Chain A
Amino acid sequence: EIVMTQSPPTLSVSPGERATLSCRASQSVSGNLAWYQQKPGQAPRLLIYSASTRATGIPARFSGSGSGTEFTVTISSLQSEDSAVYYCQQYNEWPTFGQGTKVEI
């Protein structure tokens, strides 16, 4: 099983600030990594796949980078609606998720 570790567990930021969330894989997943956003009471929404490709309808302020075992998602200018839990998921083998980073604004 590929274990995904996200950091930090919680990130408190102000509107307009930049936020960087990290995800580390226990072994290389190449570029087979996705990010999801989950707001309270809602289903997760796909943000980014293939480590850096934004999904349809995702604002340009969200960007992803990384390969191998280290990945990040950056929110360039946080808005209030970005308050959520963000999960990474690898699909190099059977899918596994990180434990999530809660972004508080």
Chain B
Amino acid sequence: QEQMQESGPGLVKPSETLSLTCSVSGDSISSSRNHWGWIRQPPGKGLEWIGNVFYSGDTYYNPSLRSRVTISIDTSKNQFSLRLTSVTAADTAVYSCARFLSGIFDLWGQGTLVTVYS
């Protein structure tokens, strides 16, 4: 059964770095078919694409976040990760990882709430 699961701290202080990992099971992250992405949803708001990574390590980022985002991939662990630097309260959101295939997100993790607090 294909599954994706996010993990990482639920609390981050302002100006620090948010770090999350997505573990993939039931599918190979090395597959040349798929990209792997991060999406976030602030409380009570809509969805925002953060970025994608390909098995080769090629990355694609939302222009509005590009200066602060790094997405990396670890094929040996079948995982990929998100780093978002210099966080503020506006970065408080549920962060979800997802499989990105031909433009659509066809498999999602449950999401994890990250709160930026001082």
Among the listed stretches A19-27, A60-68, A75-83, A86-94, which one makes contact with chain B, having 4 or more residues with CB under 8 Å of it? Answer: A86-94
Q: How many A-B residue pairs have CB under 8 A?
A: 49
The answer to whether residues A46 and B105 also contact, given A96-B49, A97-B48 and a CB cut-off of 8 A, is: yes
A91 to B62, CA, bound (A): 13
What is the chain B residue whose CB lies nearest that of A55?
B106
- Assess whether A16 is interfacial by the CB under 8 Å rule: no
Give which listed residue, B45, B102, B108, contacts A43 with CB less than 8 A: B108
| Cβ B103 vs Cβ A34 within 8 A | yes
A100 to B44, CA, bound (A): 11
Subset of 16 A-B contacts with CB under 8 Å: A32-B103, A34-B104, A43-B96, A43-B108, A43-B109, A43-B111, A44-B96, A44-B105, A46-B104, A49-B106, A87-B46, A89-B105, A91-B104, A94-B62, A94-B63, A99-B46
Contacts beyond the supplied A46-B105, A87-B46: 10 A-B pairs with Cβ under 8 Å: A1-B63, A32-B103, A43-B96, A44-B108, A45-B108, A49-B103, A89-B104, A97-B47, A97-B49, A100-B46
